[in-house]
Each structure stands twice: as C-alpha cells, then as structure tokens.
Amino acid sequence: DPDAAMAAYDQVLEKYQENNKSADAQYMKARMLLQTGKRTAAADEFRELIKKYPASEQAAKAKDQLKALGIAPPSASRTPRKR
C-alpha cells in the first residue's frame, strides 16, 4: 500500500531527522510519490533531500531523478562573502 509506505517514511523523517537513514527514507518517499504519479510532490521531496543532505549518495540520486524529470536540480546554496 503506497499510502502506508509514505506514512512510514514520514515517521522515520520526523523521529530520526539526524539519523543516517533519513536521507534513504526521504529518497524512497520521493520515489514512491513518483511511482504513484505525484510528480510535483516527488520533485519537492527530491529538492528537500538535496537541501537537507547535500553530501549524501541519495542527494546525488535525487539530482539525477530531477534531471530525468526535466527539472533543474537546486544549486548549492552559497553564503555571500564578506569583504
């Protein structure tokens, strides 16, 4: 059941935000959304994953997923330099 799976992913994301498996859960949630035809919601999850876990393997996969959807992945956020 896709809805039950997404609820389980949400629980992991809520309870274990700093856990190393959170990026996995967010990636799997986004893939589930994509498989159920919720393209916009999936893209939002992929973007959020990239923002939260930029150095993770899942972030690289999320960027690839966004590109496959024809959506530009978010660029790395940069802090303006002080002069």
b or e along 63-78 (b: 16 or more beta carbons within 10 Å of the residue's beta carbon)?
Answer: bebbeeeebebeeeee
Tell me how far apart the alpha carbons of residues 82 and 16 are, in angstroms, rounded to a whole number: 35
Tell me the average pLDDT across 6-32.
83
Mean confidence (pLDDT) of the chain: 85
Report the pLDDT value the prediction gives residue 76, as an integer from 0 to 100.
58
Of 13, 32, 31, the closest CA to residue 21 belongs to 13
How do residues 45-70 score in pLDDT, each as one tens digit?
A: 999 999 999 999 999 999 999 999 99
Higher pLDDT, residue 23 or 9: 23
**What's the whole-model pTM score?**
0.79
Q: What is the DSSP letter of 76?
A: P
What one-letter code names the amino acid at 81?
Answer: R
Comparing 21 with 43, the larger pLDDT belongs to 43
